[in-house]
Structure 1
Amino acid sequence: MDTYTFQDIFDMDFLQKLIDSLSVALQVGISIRGPKGERFTKDSDYCRFCRDVVKKSPVGRARCDLSDRALSAHNDEKPYICHCQSAGLTDASVPIIVEGRHLASILVGQVRLAEDVPEEEEYRTNARILQLDEEEFLEHVRAIPTITRAQFEHILDLLSLLAGQFSQLGCGNLRLQDAIRSLESQRLLHQQEKTVLETLAEKDSMTGLYNRRKFEEVADMYAGQKGRRICMVSADANFLKLTNDIFGHKAGDQLLINIAKIMDSLAKSDWLVARCGGDEFRVILPDTTLETALDYCRRVARDCGKDTTLSLPLSVALGAADWDSEKETLQDCFSRADVKMYQNKQALKHEQHVPEYIMERLYDRQILSRIVVDHAAEMAQAFSLCLGLSREQAREVGLAARFQDIGMAKLPESFYIRGQSRTEEETLRIRTHVTQGYTMARQFEELYKVADVILHSHENWDGTGYPNQLAAEQIPLEARIIHIVGDYTYWTMPTISGGNYPRDAVRRKMAELAGSIYDPGLTEDFFRFLEGYRPSEPEPDAGEQD
């Protein structure tokens, strides 16, 4: 409320006309000024004295300005009367107060009081001070009629009543303006709420795409436009359930958001891209050829494949069909696109190897070393064959060795920052990676058989390992094998967090731990195996160059 100005609540054109009329009727000069002397109305001069004589002089103009500012600053409720500082005439001010604030003053001037007429010499002195012609000054000042103090006070009473009316009018105008602003604010808020509700009614809140309701509404509209060239695209996000099961629903939501962004960014402005529930997306492509629709599908699949920000591959199955409006309904067209999508989904199942993708992310984040993992898998398979296991069994041991730490993908990356010590709670949480790995392995057909081996790959011979504190031959043979091979590989090869110890020192250390950490008989078999083992030459690992 304290930010409003005098001009905000009064009609200044009307006030100018009122002041001009009052000046003529009352035969006094009148103007309305702000508290600092700023002009709100032009000066209404009923005579020429001030305008044509006094203000011709620079000194006179300056003194008039000083008088006006002094009068304007007066904010007492009663009128203030004084002599002007230029010609010795009588001035007065009547303040206008609105809700306790001094917004303006009515200034009154060009008054000669009969009881206070100076001697001629005093007028001449004023003329000389103002550097004006004394005779001209006298001539014009004598032309100003005199009034009695009583008459002047009546004029001020009238202007005080007027100022009071201004105050009441100002208060009323303020309240009216507040009411208008409130209504305008409510109207704007209503419009915003309406816009939000309309958006919610047709947009998917998570992805920002259109929803099923909007899709069906637009599809119904196009369904009646026989002969129009329209294509339909059916899309289904891959690995949503897997992402939710392994990494949680927040990760699943992000998967859908990323797909939605790609599909929307590659669509033309007149296409409608909608999320119709769960992992299902649909696109209506009006005035579009089938080749353009297929190209759109290829570009969406390509850009999804480039996105490596998620723990699982960003992948979407797509199918497209063009509408033959003479032979089928638009829904029939979409059904054909749906069939194509499911065919694409089946093909993608055989093309995408999710466990390997997860491991690639662990390599990229330098949580695991590709060289160490490859070497451990190769050695575990070779050692298993040396122990007399079948080729299939040995292959499964190598597979378990390769993916034994896949569960680390579910742990916060901050746990693996080099040079940062871990709290006891973080250490305990890191140990859950084997149970996480077990859960993940059971999700994949290629790892299902080795899930139990992964679960027990960190159990110790004396029962101090984790997660189930199994001991001795309670621990599966395959798990005992990859425990020995994994630790040996980790210690003897250069790793992200250390390693690269002399092989003889590692063998001595492992011999000391045989019977507590490792199966003692299996450890001796491993040492004999090492005597004749020659690993294949590893490929350079970019993650190990620093």
Structure 2
Amino acid sequence: MKNLISDIPDISSAQELTDALSIAIMAGIRILTPSGKLLVHDNRYSSFYREICRTSPMADASYEQFITELCAWRESAFCIRHCPVTGLTNALINITLEEVPTASILIEGLRLEEDHISDDRYREIARSLRTDETAYLDRIHKLPLLNAGRLNHILILLSLVTKHLCRLVWTNRSLKSTVHSLEDQESLYRQEKNILEELAERDPMTGLYNRRKFEDTVSLYSGQRDRTICMISADANFLKLTNDIFGHEAGDLLLQAIARIMDELAKGDWLVARCGGDEFRVLLPDTTLETALDYCRRVARNCSLDKSLTLPLSVALGAAEWNSEAETLQDCFSRADVKMYQNKTALKHELRIPNYIMERLYDRQVLNKEVVESTAELTRAFALYLNFSEEQSREISLAAQYQDIGMAKLPESFVIRGQSRTEEETSQVHMHVAHGYTMARQFDELYKIADIIHCSHENWDGIGYPNSLKGRTIPVEARIIRLTSDYLRRTHPTVRGGYHTVEETIQKLQEESGRIYDPELTSQFLQFLQEHAFRQSHPKS
């Protein structure tokens, strides 16, 4: 309620009110805020005396001091004081609402019977003010002579009028506050309503429209048989594989990447929706089949160019144009869906996922492609030397090639050169073998060699990983790979930096025989190197 009087919406009305009251009682009236700020201008009665006083600097200062002291009065509702400077009486009304000061009414220039003085005294006052005595006395005689009782009634009237005015202002302010609050609530409600409506028709993961929105829109277009409309069915490839190998967070990234590409390439009036799982749909009003097929080609191309994920970003798409005279829009979508599945089957045979994963590991410099391919070649040759069949040798070679495919699940920071790993990081690196085993079991071409991959980093003395197998409990295929892999890693430059001469490497193999490597296989391998000149096939460059 503080400064309530300053909230009066129409100050001109307050000015008219005080002017009318001033004329009625023939006295000056001013309304002040609790801080002393003048709310309405001096009317002609109060300004008359103030102008007279200002002719004398001393009188002016004395009158201002008198007014200041009078306005500071707070001990009662009314205060009546005789002013020795003007010879007249002034009064102050303090207006409070709920014991809070809200305004003050200052009444100036009253002629009170109880404070009546002689004309001679008024002449003395006029002379002290340095104003015309006759004009001053004439002005005084025109003022009504009030008694204390009548003045008291006037003060009560003014107090009541002002209190009611303040209450009206307070009520108005409360109503305005309530209206603003209701407007704010309505605005918030509209915002929340819009958000909820948006959420109700959007897929939260991708930001695309959802099945509900798609089906509602299809229903809307179903009756517009004069329009050229196409439908596209799309299915994200490798979502289950991504979830199984890399977790659902990676699967979410795959869906979001496909959604972003489909949405960016779509025209403004097309509706792109994710309708659950790996399924996407596109409704293309006023669009020919040629345009729809071009859109599909561009989506597929942009997905193939995206290398942000470990698995290839790929989506199968099928498009159909609505034959409105012979089918429903749902029938049109069913035709698009059939074409999508035909495309999906073809893509499955075209894309070799294990090779893609390995290429990504080469691109990220996690593995060295030359070393991996040379290891596979050397392993196959050594297996044939040991009288394994062609089929068995090929499988051992394949296991050597993909033994570190599980590195795809590790952060790239683990292979940055020149850094030491923490114990926890080392443990995670060792887990790449178990990851590789899990991944190999997902692919038909690697399923048979998953167990070999799982044991490819075990040591002869049982200090290897991940299962600390020892001696002949380690499959012989894995023991072979342990030898050939370490030989190639030491004699070739790798992502980790330098390498060793063939002689240094052979010496190292001999030193570790019986600890890391199978002693019998180590002797056979060294004999194989000597007989087949592999020592010269990978010279130091």
TM-score computed with the length of structure 2 as normaliser: 0.84
CA distance in 2, matches of 1:360, 1:61: 97
Matched residue, 1:197:
196
- Code of the residue aligned with 2:263 in structure 1: it is D
Query: For the structure 1 residues 512 and 222, does the alpha-carbon distance in structure 2 shift closer, same or farther, using more than 3 Å as the test?
Result: same
- State the 1:96 CA deviation: 4.6
- State the 1:53 CA deviation: 6.6
CA distance in 2, matches of 1:338, 1:143: 103
Query: For the structure 1 residues 48 and 462, does the alpha-carbon distance in structure 2 shift closer, same or farther, using more than 3 Å as the test?
Result: closer
Matched residue, 2:432:
433
Question: RMSD of the TM alignment (CA)?
Answer: 3.8
Query: For the structure 1 residues 203 and 121, does the alpha-carbon distance in structure 2 shift closer, same or farther, using more than 3 Å as the test?
Result: same
Q: Is the contact between residue 59 and residue 129 of structure 2 (CA under 8 Å) also seen in structure 1?
A: no
Q: Is the contact between residue 403 and residue 436 of structure 2 (CA under 8 Å) also seen in structure 1?
A: yes
**1:480-530, Cα deviation, whole Å (9 max, x unpaired):** 122222223333434344442444333333322211211112222333344
CA distance in 2, matches of 1:521, 1:66: 118
- Code of the residue aligned with 1:464 in structure 2: it is I
Matched residue, 1:289:
288
Percentage of identical aligned residues: 55
Query: For the structure 1 residues 161 and 339, does the alpha-carbon distance in structure 2 shift closer, same or farther, using more than 3 Å as the test?
Result: same
- State the 1:237 CA deviation: 0.8
Matched residue, 1:462:
461
Q: Is the contact between residue 240 and residue 255 of structure 1 (CA under 8 Å) also seen in structure 2?
A: yes
Q: Do structure 1's residue 516 and structure 2's residue 481 form an aligned pair?
A: no
**1:455-500, Cα deviation, whole Å (9 max, x unpaired):** 1111111222222222222222221122222223333434344442
Q: Is the contact between residue 381 and residue 398 of structure 1 (CA under 8 Å) also seen in structure 2?
A: yes
Structure with larger Rg: 2
Query: For the structure 1 residues 493 and 537, does the alpha-carbon distance in structure 2 shift closer, same or farther, using more than 3 Å as the test?
Result: closer
Matched residue, 2:224:
225
- State the 1:173 CA deviation: 4.0
Q: Give the SS at the match of 2:482.
A: helix
Query: For the structure 1 residues 147 and 318, does the alpha-carbon distance in structure 2 shift closer, same or farther, using more than 3 Å as the test?
Result: same
Matched residue, 1:304:
303
- Code of the residue aligned with 2:289 in structure 1: it is L
Higher mean alpha-carbon deviation, 69-78 vs 342-351, is at: 69-78
Matched residue, 2:504:
505
Q: Do structure 1's residue 483 and structure 2's residue 454 form an aligned pair?
A: no
**1:13-51, Cα deviation, whole Å (9 max, x unpaired):** 554443343333333333434344445444444566168
- Code of the residue aligned with 2:237 in structure 1: it is N
**1:223-248, Cα deviation, whole Å (9 max, x unpaired):** 11122111111111111111111111
Q: Give the SS at the match of 2:282.
A: strand
Matched residue, 1:349:
348
**1:207-230, Cα deviation, whole Å (9 max, x unpaired):** 222211221111122111122111
Matched residue, 1:543:
none
Aligned positions of 1:70-149 closer than 5 A: 78-79=77-78, 93-97=92-96, 102-111=101-110, 115=115, 119-126=122-129, 147=146
Matched residue, 2:246:
247
- Code of the residue aligned with 2:215 in structure 1: it is E
- State the 1:206 CA deviation: 2.0
Structure 1: runs of 5+ lacking an equivalent: 540-546
Query: For the structure 1 residues 300 and 91, does the alpha-carbon distance in structure 2 shift closer, same or farther, using more than 3 Å as the test?
Result: farther
Q: Is the contact between residue 491 and residue 540 of structure 2 (CA under 8 Å) also seen in structure 1?
A: no
- State the 1:347 CA deviation: 2.0
Higher mean alpha-carbon deviation, 225-234 vs 95-104, is at: 95-104
**1:342-368, Cα deviation, whole Å (9 max, x unpaired):** 122122212323223323333444433
Give the total of aligned pairs. Answer: 534
Aligned positions of 1:403-442 closer than 5 A: 403-442=402-441
Matched residue, 1:398:
397
Higher mean alpha-carbon deviation, 521-530 vs 103-112, is at: 103-112
**1:431-457, Cα deviation, whole Å (9 max, x unpaired):** 221111111111122322221111111
Q: Is the contact between residue 492 and residue 500 of structure 1 (CA under 8 Å) also seen in structure 2?
A: yes
CA distance in 2, matches of 1:389, 1:529: 14
CA distance in 1, matches of 2:364, 2:37: 69
Matched residue, 2:33:
34
